[in-house]
Amino acid sequence: YMSGIVLAGTHSGCGKTTITLGILAALKKKGLTVQSFKAGPDFIDTGLHRLITGRPSRNLDIWMCGEDYVRDCYKSHSLNCDLSIVEGVMGLYDGEFSTARLATLLRLPIILIVDAYGMAESAGAIVNGFIQYSSRLLKDIQDLPNISGVIFNRIASDRHYKRVIDSVRDVPVLGYLPRDLNFEIPHRHLGLTTAEERPFAEENVERLANAVLRHIDMDKVIEKYRNLEARHPIDSGYHPFQNSKVKIAIAYDRAFCFYYEDNLDLLRNEGAEIVTFSLMSDSHLPEDVDAIYIGGGYPELYAEELSKNQSMLEAIHNWADSGKPMYAECGGLMYLSKGIYDFEGNFSRMAGVFPFETEMKRGRAHLGYRDVLLNDDCIKGKKEDKIRGHEFHYSEIKPSVSGLQSSDITTCYSVFDNRGQPLQKEGYKFKNVLASYTHIHFGSNSNIAKSFINFIKETQWKT
């Protein structure tokens, strides 16, 4: 068995992220080196993990990347730490690519998180049901997921806790977090506030860590699950660039912070040097860069600041117009549009690389996994290549002024949902710029990073 734990919940909102952050903070306070992971495609939780541990957190997504990639990712990043913590997604058994399936793939034990608010002895029935359900749900899997501990959330009192733990059979209760903890991560339309916005003060993290150490038996957790082998330096999987011919500028600030760390590592593997800059506060692009990569984020929240940074808007527009390579996803696509209408209908002008506007839509989330077939050669690969990612956004291209009839703009993505149903074509191309609403995981196709670098080099030769 690999070293580590999966922290899984009975349902979304049961306290997984709070308890995960608390356990990470408690382990760090005990002087342990801990590596965190997140099941599924979520960018925000991985950023919050990183705030606590000081180490990049990794997404483990079987649908996007496949079992071999996920297993290798977990193994390689777990080798030089004392303990690995995987935060699950939704409820333990929810979805075809569930947390239970991930735990089974990695052969990791599960600690089940149960929200005890509003119940007492019924908690035992819930825990028992989750243990029994695995054998019904996963009949074809030999090594069933192993629920080896339980942590309760929102316990009201010592008496409440005693009633809860007395109801649980056949699995150890490792502890709880109290109802009056008063630790909350602010929410907004896409979920939790991002790490880049510093959603919690250090003293709150300290209070959370202390609550975990007081109410959860962390010594038992460490003794039971930690890697007892001596830690030793390992090959990180990529090497520092040496006389690299390709330098990629990554837009990174409070407005743009949704990147898979693996994507950046895979680019470095192919010899890229990564530098960061801010579309909000920098007046010009970094020097001597060969390509620009603008990820997702919350440009609608910072639209006014982005719009006021005229010199950067002009620099990005001129870069695109001169035929230099640029790739943008989701929030990055919004930045490259003519402008953004926020939820109140206020308009902020953007870089105008593409002749359409984007607008925020309340209650109309575009959410789900995406299969992408390339209809043309582009920075992500060759025609007929298949790549995968996901969408999660509340904005849309404004249909009345889409401007997509322009002969300069083409689409090179045929997009399908995870059931194979075709969706609207996208992957908008202008000269050597590609922009899309789909967040592509470069681990979904082993050729993506190589194609990305080769495209940049070919563009250099042509210009």
Q: Which of 180-184, 191-195, 445-449 is the least confident region?
A: 191-195
DSSP state of 216: B
Measuring CA to CA, how many Å separate 71 from each of 79, 107, 141, 195?
A: 12, 10, 17, 26
Position 203 confidence tier, pLDDT thresholds 50, 70, 90: confident
Predicted confidence (pLDDT) per residue in 81-115, tens digit: 999 999 999 999 999 999 999 999 999 999 999 99
Predicted confidence (pLDDT) per residue in 288-314, tens digit: 999 999 999 999 999 999 999 999 999
Predicted confidence (pLDDT) per residue in 140-151, tens digit: 555 667 899 999
Count other Cβ atoms within 10 Å, centred on residue 253. 18
Mean pLDDT calculated for residue range 38-47? 93
Please give the Cα distance from 251 to 309 (Å, whole number): 14
pLDDT at residue 350 in the model: 98
pLDDT at residue 223 in the model: 86
Is the pLDDT score of 233 beyond 50? Answer: no
pLDDT at residue 208 in the model: 93
Predicted confidence (pLDDT) per residue in 155-189, tens digit: 999 999 999 999 999 899 999 999 988 766 655 45
pLDDT at residue 191 in the model: 57
Is the pLDDT score of 228 beyond 80? Answer: no
Most confident of 70-79, 138-147, 229-238, 404-413: 70-79
Measuring CA to CA, how many Å separate 135 from each of 92, 93, 100, 141, 287?
A: 13, 12, 11, 9, 58
pLDDT at residue 1 in the model: 47
Mean pLDDT calculated for residue range 263-285? 97
In one-letter notation, the amino acid at residue 130 is F
Mean pLDDT calculated for residue range 217-235? 70
| 181 token code pair | 């903890």
Position 230 confidence tier, pLDDT thresholds 50, 70, 90: very low
Q: Name the average pLDDT for the chain.
A: 90
Please identify every residue annotated as catalytic.
330
Ordered DSSP codes for 293-360: EE-EE-GGGGHHHHHH-HHHHHHHHHHHHTT--EEEETHHHHHHSSEEE-TT--EEE---SSS-EEEE
Mean pLDDT calculated for residue range 380-392? 97
Predicted confidence (pLDDT) per residue in 91-100, tens digit: 999 999 999 9
User: Which comes out higher in pLDDT, residue 240 or 91?
Assistant: 91
- What proportion of the chain, given as a percentage, has pLDDT over 70? 87
pLDDT at residue 181 in the model: 83
pLDDT at residue 236 in the model: 46
User: Is the pTM value of this prediction over 0.95?
Assistant: no
